[in-house]
Amino acid sequence: MPNTYFQFKQFRIEQAQSGMKVTTDGCLFGGWVAEEIQKETTEPKRILDIGAGTGLLSLMLAQVTVKGEIMALEINEAACKEAIHNFHHSPWGERLQCRHTSLQNFNGDNYGLIICNPPFFKGSQQGADRNKNQAVHSNSLDAEELLDHVIRLLDPNGSLYLLYPEREMEAFRQMALTKGLYPIHQVIVRNQIDQSIFRVMARFSFEEVKAITSELIIRKANRKYTTESWKLLKEYYLEYNNPGLQ
């Protein structure tokens, strides 16, 4: 496993064959969405994880829900097999499914929550690693396709949670506005306080409201996690990453 510092308290996820790494931004994204879910009075009955990889985000959301059924979609066969393995060996296996399919070919019920950490490189040179290419290049799912299928599958009262780099998020936001999907909360993520925007985490819904914007700094100058980022990670990362212990 590439990142041995990441481990659910109940079990360790497997990623040996697909080569898809656990990334800090992905973990923060899952932690943020999990925190948002816990603020609601009712949890979503059905959750859809688009481009699930080896199942990290699905597992993070399963840990903070009680009854929600989670459907994960993954186009990469090796990653899908590992997600199924991880789901089966988790404490929440009965609520988790993974299908080896593209979003374009998926037909399902409306979902109260859709989460996606989509591929975003467009028109750039691809490497030799096919698995990595599928994970990060938008050839298999561009932003407009993603938006159209989200609108097709999202419950009228549901929410889309999305993670993108700044430029890609702004382009998605502009497209979403033209199709009646509105940003209601976005979190600007920086690696350190004096660095440029690294990622943007956003929540969208069909309800047009005044959007909230906040900011998250991942690490302090000494490279330790900030208190704010550790708050999102602490239920999933091993305890020795706790900045209070360093």
Low-confidence ranges of the chain (pLDDT < 50): 1-6, 121, 123-138, 246
pLDDT of residue 242: 61
pLDDT of residue 11: 56
Whole-angstrom Cα distance, residue 59 to residue 70? 9
pLDDT of residue 180: 97
pLDDT of residue 43: 94
The string of pLDDT tens digits covering residues 182-228 is 999 999 999 999 999 999 999 999 999 999 999 999 999 988 899 99
Q: Are strands 197-205 and 182-190 parallel, antiparallel or unpaired?
A: antiparallel
Q: How far is CA 225 from the centre of its chain?
A: 20
Domains of the chain with bracketed CATH: 24-240 (3.40.50.150)
Are 116 and 51 in contact, with CB atoms under 8 Å apart?
A: yes
pTM summary value? 0.86
Q: Which residue has the tokens 């940003």?
A: 183
pLDDT of residue 137: 37
Could you tell me which residues come within 8 angstroms of residue 27 by beta carbon, excluding any fewer than 6 positions away?
6, 56, 60, 232, 233, 236, 237
pLDDT of residue 121: 43
Whole-angstrom Cα distance, residue 109 to residue 153? 7
